[in-house]
């Protein structure tokens, strides 16, 4: 993406690619959307794609691949062991991060499983800027717990801080002094913060955390799944890296970390994942688990065609025009919504536009799942599927009480090279209408509540018939319009 100043004086993001293949989408009438969301138990994860106009649930596995990625898939070597496809991918990753060892896995949460199984012991603590749902679940299932030490501004909706995803260094030092070092499983940096606005982590913060971990003998783990967006912010928000070669940035990150893992459904715009380390000891221990849980060491549960696409996608993720695609679109939508009074997380982060559901639905308590209710209402009003990132995405405490989330967010994700500017404007328009009629949105309560990762497949119902009121108001304002 490039910000180009037009003769009119506007700064409009200009896509640095052309569309050569399209996929038809459908916008169904609001009555059909109402039936679809009810059938899905008011959980946008359970909607069928045939009922969705714009799918902004996630960027995971739904980014548009390039022509070079598709071409590379034709040279895949599908040998069970010793595949040349693996060695091509390994070489790309070694060059990208300057780390010696690479272990393939079928996606990011598989990497989390391997790392947690190796490093987490009952009673141990994993320290991180902020958790991700599956990361925390793996740690807890191994008997560990999570301590979050994101900078205070990272949990504020509005801020001017450019790197809100940074770990708080003073909190890190304090925790290390309070916890027996043998009880610290690892320190983890997620760049950027998936659950709290896609906020980036600065290179200076990574340097400081790495220095502390090495002095204290602690393992430093880096989740690079959202690295592409983070690279854009490092390059544009940190004067030290203005016009920097992004390969130099990723190589420095590799020198700072003990373990790097990623989901290629995000980083690399393909499907798969992997773990990197320069530690022979860690590599040898993790290597034993790959054939047991994933697949042989040269495919790790992945399709070799996806591995070929991943290798090209990773190289393309070092192109400034590629890494800017999502952040610039997110910024456009955030600014448009702010100009209309709709509350969003600022500064705009990566991954997607994050709407503040707590302020949007200030008449609802967190126990009524305002972010989940807003996601369902947004689908009703627009056919756009977003994702709840709030209390619904947490797990209950052992006593059955709710773990209230720090933020209640509706995430509208931007898969790379998928949407157009007119579609972004449509999203802003329908969300603005919903904000002006926000008093119509009611709460949700569980009908079927899984014990773990309930946001994936739990089913809910509305508290009252508020969905019918939205349908009636929509028809009154838009008539026969979809």
Q: Where are the alpha helices (DSSP H) in 294-415?
A: 304-316, 320-323, 325-339, 357-360, 370-382
3-state SS assignment for residue 142? coil
Q: How many helices (H) and strands (E) does the chain have?
A: 19, 16
Q: Which of 266, 385, 411, 430 is catalytic?
A: 266
3-state SS assignment for residue 128? strand
Q: Which of 80, 87, 456, 478 is catalytic?
A: 80
Is 399 catalytic? The answer is no
Q: Which of 389, 411, 416, 454 is catalytic?
A: 389
Classify the C-alpha dihedral 54-60-66-69 as positive or negative. negative
CA dist 29 and 328 (Å) reads: 31
Provide the 10 A C-beta neighbour count for residue 98. Answer: 16
DSSP assignment string, 229-260: HHHHHHHHH-GGGTT--HHHHHHHHHHH-SEE
Is 223 catalytic? The answer is yes
Q: Which of 132, 261, 369, 426 is catalytic?
A: 132
Is 262 catalytic? The answer is no
Is 416 catalytic? The answer is no
CA dist 349 and 353 (Å) reads: 7
Is 455 catalytic? The answer is yes
CA dist 286 and 278 (Å) reads: 12
Six token digits for residue 109: 């949460």
Query: Does residue 146 come out as left (phi exceeding 0), alpha (psi in the -120 to 50 range) or beta?
Result: beta
The answer to whether 221 and 183 are in contact (CB under 8 A) is: no
Q: Which of 125, 133, 151, 277 is catalytic?
A: 133
Strands 11-14 and 2-5: antiparallel
Q: How far is CA 237 from CA 163, 194, 240, in A?
A: 8, 19, 9
Burial of residue 292 (number of CB atoms within 10 Å: 0-12, 13-18, 19+): exposed
Q: How far is CA 203 from CA 72, 162, 209, 286, 298, in A?
A: 32, 12, 10, 27, 32
Q: Which of 223, 229, 258, 356 is catalytic?
A: 223
| Distance, CA of 317 to chain centre | 16
CA dist 456 and 109 (Å) reads: 14
| Residue in 330, 357, 327, 331 with CA at minimum distance from that of residue 342 | 357
Six token digits for residue 71: 């071409």
Q: Which of 222, 360, 455, 474 is catalytic?
A: 455
Q: Which residues are catalytic?
A: 80, 132-133, 223, 266, 389, 455
């Amino acid at each position: 993406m490039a910000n180009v100043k037009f003769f009119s004086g506007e700064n409009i993001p200009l896509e640095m690619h052309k569309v050569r293949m399209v996929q038809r989408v459908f916008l169904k009438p609001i009555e059909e959307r109402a039936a679809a969301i009810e059938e899905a138990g008011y959980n946008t994860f359970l909607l069928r794609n045939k009922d969705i106009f714009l799918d902004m649930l996630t960027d995971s596995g739904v980014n548009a691949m390039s022509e070079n990625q598709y071409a590379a898939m034709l040279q895949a070597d599908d040998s069970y062991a010793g595949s040349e496809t693996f060695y091509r991918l390994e070489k790309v990753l070694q060059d990208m991060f300057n780390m010696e060892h690479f272990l393939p896995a079928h996606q990011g949460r598989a990497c989390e499983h391997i790392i947690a199984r190796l490093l987490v012991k009952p009673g141990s603590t994993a320290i991180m800027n902020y958790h991700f749902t599956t990361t925390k679940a793996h740690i807890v299932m191994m008997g560990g717990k999570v301590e979050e030490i994101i900078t205070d501004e990272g949990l504020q909706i509005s801020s001017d801080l450019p790197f809100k995803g940074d770990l708080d260094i003073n909190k890190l030092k304090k925790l290390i002094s309070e916890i027996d070092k043998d009880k610290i499983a690892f320190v983890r940096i997620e760049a950027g913060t998936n659950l709290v606005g896609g906020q980036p982590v600065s290179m200076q913060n990574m340097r400081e955390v790495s220095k502390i971990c090495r002095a204290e003998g602690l393992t430093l783990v880096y989740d690079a799944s959202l690295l592409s967006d983070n690279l854009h912010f490092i390059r544009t928000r940190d004067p030290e890296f203005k016009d920097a070669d992004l390969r130099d940035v990723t190589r420095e990150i590799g020198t700072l970390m003990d373990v790097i893992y990623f989901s290629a459904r995000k980083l690399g715009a393909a499907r798969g994942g992997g773990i990197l380390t320069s530690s022979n000891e860690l590599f040898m221990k993790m290597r034993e688990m790959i054939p047991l849980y994933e697949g042989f060491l040269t495919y790790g549960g992945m399709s070799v065609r996806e591995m070929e696409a991943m290798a090209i996608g990773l190289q393309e993720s070092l192109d400034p025009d590629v890494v800017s695609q999502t952040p610039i679109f997110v910024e456009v939508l955030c600014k448009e919504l702010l100009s209309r009074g709709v509350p969003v997380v600022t500064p705009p982060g990566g991954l997607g536009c994050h709407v503040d559901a707590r302020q949007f639905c200030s008449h609802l308590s967190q126990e009524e799942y305002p972010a989940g209710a807003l996601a369902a209402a947004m689908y009703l009003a627009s056919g756009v599927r977003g994702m709840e990132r709030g209390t619904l995405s947490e797990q209950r405490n052992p006593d059955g009480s709710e773990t209230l989330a720090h933020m209640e967010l509706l995430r509208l994700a931007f898969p790379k090279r998928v949407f157009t500017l007119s579609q972004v404007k449509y999203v802003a328009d329908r969300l603005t209408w919903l904000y002006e009629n926000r008093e119509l949105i009611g709460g949700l309560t569980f009908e079927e509540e899984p014990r773990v990762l309930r946001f994936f497949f739990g089913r809910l119902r509305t508290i009252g018939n508020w969905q019918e009121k939205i349908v009636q108001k929509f028809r009154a304002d838009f008539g026969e319009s979809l």
